[in-house]
Chain A
Amino acid sequence: MPRIGVFVCQCGNNIAATVDTKKVAEEMGKLPGVVYTCDYKFMCSSPGQEMLRQAIKENKLDGIIVSACSPHMHEKTFRKAAEGAGLNPYQCEITNIREQCSWVHHDKTKAAGTVKSIDLTRMTIQRLKKNQPLKKIKIPVKKKAMVIGGGIAGIQAALDIAEGGREVILVEKEPSIGGNMARLSETFPTMDCSQCILTPKMVEAELNENITLYTYSEVEKVDGYIGNFTVTVRRKSKYVDEERCTGCGECIEKCPFKVDSQFELGLNKRKVIYTPFPQSVPNVPVIDAPNCTKIQKDKCGACAIVCGPKCIDFKMEDKLVTEEVGAIVVATGYQNMPNERFGEYGYGRIKDVISGMQFERLASSSGPTGGEIRRPSDGKIPQSVVFIQCVGSRDEKKGVSYCSKICCMYTAKHTKLYSHKVHGGQSYVFYMDIRSGGKRYEEFVRGAIEHEGAMYLRGRVSRVYEKNGKIMVQGADTLSGNQVEIEADMVVLATAVVSRDGADTLAQRLGIGYDKYKFYNEYHPKLKPVETVTAGIYLAGTCMGPMDIPESVAQGSAAASKVLALFSADEMAREPITSVVNRTTCNACWDCVTACPYTAIEREAIKDRQGNVVRWVAKVNDGVCQGCGVCVAACRSKSIDLKGYTDEQVFAAINAF
């Protein structure tokens, strides 16, 4: 016979106002197996908890029920108190008689509330009788992290983890770390030069002993679970031996072939053997194999001839590296929506219609024009520039419905840079709303308008066309109520921030969620902003949605602090509420495998003594399982049960009703 104790909480007047707690306790005492009952004003207070511990010890209770508030509030508190009295914490169950009973009853005679509380508590008692003592799951943690993406968010995360004394692998797809920020000219609202604040961090990441850089590499495969991930990284062939290369740049000098530079967004050419930009980290060139005549046709090879340390190897192949890490930070960043999608703005058709990022390169002192604003078609200095905001953003039909958040600010910055560099030039900005929420942001935009003379016109541009060598911009100014036509020398489009190509593939490899725009989902938009549904994988920066540099950096640091907290203990304890498969009845239909949102279910082979596979069954990985119960519902042969919520327990509770 079980020895159960029932503790009914009055919660001040929260429960006692509509529930006769004394009567509930008395009624429960009459049930078989219940040996102790009581009611008290605040069970969660320290005298209340002490009472609970005393009662467990004195009455040798083997299970307790606390009828009180929602288990979300105090299940942990009471389970801990029960554990303190030597009881298995999972032998403590909570009945919710506050949110689900007293708060929704207004009957001051307490009749209805009391009857319902008695029913609810009785159900929990029957459920408790079927409980099995459970043990917390202990998982060993590998204290090494991987950061995917070497932009500013990834660099910050890697630096912070390294600073905390843990090893980090920083994986970057491009030949150099730095990401989108390396392209920017200056940064709002302080007008710091982007390169000047970024490159020291890049160099720091290269020199830090705890950080291993894997540039020109991509994540191929992710296995395992929190504390124990196995990641396969493809290290694409650079055709240059990283160890021996001195970064002298002789090979780049001698290479006779030029192609459009992706880093300069087609505004400039680069050699076929190249580093994306002069401050690249690591300062090791790579060969662009599809454009290299030596690799394609076995002609040339000039770079290999001039290379002093002889580190160029045209036969080099991709390498697959397997790394074991305990946590992963995803910081893969964003890209701009292709401007070609907006025919009405003439991008691609009219040479002097450029994107905001291209304007950044024009304004950058390390850019193709050395920081002078010259238009791409004839190199002339434009005397009037029209900036168009919300290109693709807030445009449900042709683009995306969300606001890209940074365009208002960087367009204001562009007008400032333009007025600094071209005296007497006039900038026009077509906008829908100015969204400048942030520290010193509104003042920055007002400064652009009032001090730098940018002309802001409220309205969208509907047409951009060429006439007599001028670009005609036709839009509206809703403030004066006029249709507006401007003759411009150059047009800059503030295109929408969108997720990277292949963001969905990576998310599937990692087992994390993403929205319809392929931005990664955080666990909770407010309270868990850098966690994902998959434990041990964290997010930082614009892979989650549009954000500016300060926010990305803050998230990089936040993700790093989560990783360091995870690494602070050798083992990690997890709730034992996980699924378990009955191997004798599992018929290997794999419905559970497809249903599981956490990829926690594996296929296990059952072998005979000779080692032949006799049959296959599903196996739940305790480290990954989050106890959601989807597999239980999906299983056709009823072979899966959720610990702590077994069918037996649930049916017992229903039968008691």
Chain B
Amino acid sequence: MKIRIANDDIQSLEVRRLERVSGEDVKRCYQCGNCSGGCPVSYAMEIPPTKVMRFLQLGNIEDVRKANTMWLCVGCLQCYSRCPQGVSVAAILEGLRQEVLRKGASKTEVRDVPFPFLKKAPQQAIVCGFRKFVG
């Protein structure tokens, strides 16, 4: 794919806002790939964590929004605990999810979850799931 980069992409306001929401600095990432290496679900992600960081550095937040990555992240924080630069990709993906959920799109209401499922699912999964999808 050919992309054209301009100053506005690199200094993208949307990425700056995401940085404020997540408390992370995307420029800190030096693309070592440790996050993608350790992520338990990166194999299924359309854009793996390392590339998420790269796309955000290049100001390409659109492609990251479209990918399934943020919905697959389970928030285990493996990426954060291994990152030599102390960047939490999980926090950035959380920020992206919040952005979507607050607009009301893709939001799951608690009452829509079937009761038998809630009874059967492990407690951990319920906590994680609510955090991720309920907002």
Q: Which of A450, A455, A486 contacts B28 (CB 8 A)?
A: A450
Q: Which of A71-79, A237-245, A474-482 touches B?
A: A474-482
- Do A453 and B10 have beta carbons less than 8 Å apart? yes
Known: A453-B10, A455-B10, A455-B57. Is A479-B31 also a contact (CB below 8 A)? yes
Alpha-carbon distance A482/B58, docked complex (angstroms): 11
- Do B11 and A426 have beta carbons less than 8 Å apart? yes
| Chain A facing B: main interface SS | strand
B103 within 8 A of A: no
A194 within 8 A of B: no
Q: Which of B1-9, B71-79, B93-101, B114-122 touches A?
A: B1-9
Name A452's closest neighbour in chain B (CB-CB). B27
Q: Which of B7, B28, B57, B60 has the most CB of A within 10 A?
A: B7
A484 within 8 A of B: yes
Residues 405-444 of chain A: 1 if any B CB is under 8 Å from the residue's CB, otherwise 0? 0000000000000000000011010000000000000000
| Chain B facing A: main interface SS | mixed
- Do B30 and A446 have beta carbons less than 8 Å apart? yes
- Do B27 and A449 have beta carbons less than 8 Å apart? yes
- Do B7 and A426 have beta carbons less than 8 Å apart? yes
- Do B54 and A479 have beta carbons less than 8 Å apart? yes
Q: Which of B2, B27, B54, B55 contacts A483 (CB 8 A)?
A: B2
- Chain A residues with Cβ below 8 Å from B11 are 426, 453
Within the complex, the shortest CB–CB distance from A462 to chain B, in Å, comes to 12
B51 within 8 A of A: yes
Within the complex, the shortest CB–CB distance from B26 to chain A, in Å, comes to 10
B25 within 8 A of A: yes
Q: How large is the interface on B (under 10, 10 to 19, 20 to 34, 35 or more residues)?
A: 20 to 34
- Do B58 and A453 have beta carbons less than 8 Å apart? no
CB interface residues, A 457-487, toward B, < 8 Å:
458, 477, 479-487
Residues 46-69 of chain B: 1 if any A CB is under 8 Å from the residue's CB, otherwise 0? 000001001101101000000000
- Do A383 and B3 have beta carbons less than 8 Å apart? no
- Chain A residues with Cβ below 8 Å from B58 are 455, 477, 480, 482
Alpha-carbon distance A480/B54, docked complex (angstroms): 6
Q: How large is the interface on A (under 10, 10 to 19, 20 to 34, 35 or more residues)?
A: 20 to 34
- Do B3 and A384 have beta carbons less than 8 Å apart? no
- Chain A residues with Cβ below 8 Å from B6 are 384, 486-487
- Do B27 and A482 have beta carbons less than 8 Å apart? no
- Do B2 and A482 have beta carbons less than 8 Å apart? yes
Residues 6-23 of chain B: 1 if any A CB is under 8 Å from the residue's CB, otherwise 0? 110011000000000000
- Chain B residues with Cβ below 8 Å from A484 are 2-5
Alpha-carbon distance A425/B30, docked complex (angstroms): 22
Name A455's closest neighbour in chain B (CB-CB). B10
Name B27's closest neighbour in chain A (CB-CB). A450
- Do B4 and A485 have beta carbons less than 8 Å apart? yes
Q: Which of B5, B31, B51, B60 contacts A486 (CB 8 A)?
A: B5
Name A487's closest neighbour in chain B (CB-CB). B6
Alpha-carbon distance A495/B2, docked complex (angstroms): 27
Name A425's closest neighbour in chain B (CB-CB). B7
Within the complex, the shortest CB–CB distance from A299 to chain B, in Å, comes to 53
Name A434's closest neighbour in chain B (CB-CB). B30
- Do A483 and B1 have beta carbons less than 8 Å apart? yes
Residues 362-377 of chain A: 1 if any B CB is under 8 Å from the residue's CB, otherwise 0? 0000000000000000
Name B26's closest neighbour in chain A (CB-CB). A450
Q: Could you write out 14 A-B pairs with CB less than 8 Å apart?
A: A426-B7, A446-B30, A450-B28, A455-B5, A455-B58, A477-B58, A479-B31, A480-B54, A481-B1, A482-B1, A482-B58, A483-B2, A486-B6, A487-B4
Residues of A in contact with B (beta carbons under 8 Å apart) = 383-384, 425-426, 428, 446, 449-450, 453, 455, 458, 477, 479-487
Ranked nearest first, the 10 interchain pairs of A and B with the lowest CB-CB distance are: A426-B7, A483-B2, A480-B54, A485-B4, A482-B3, A450-B27, A479-B54, A455-B10, A479-B31, A486-B5
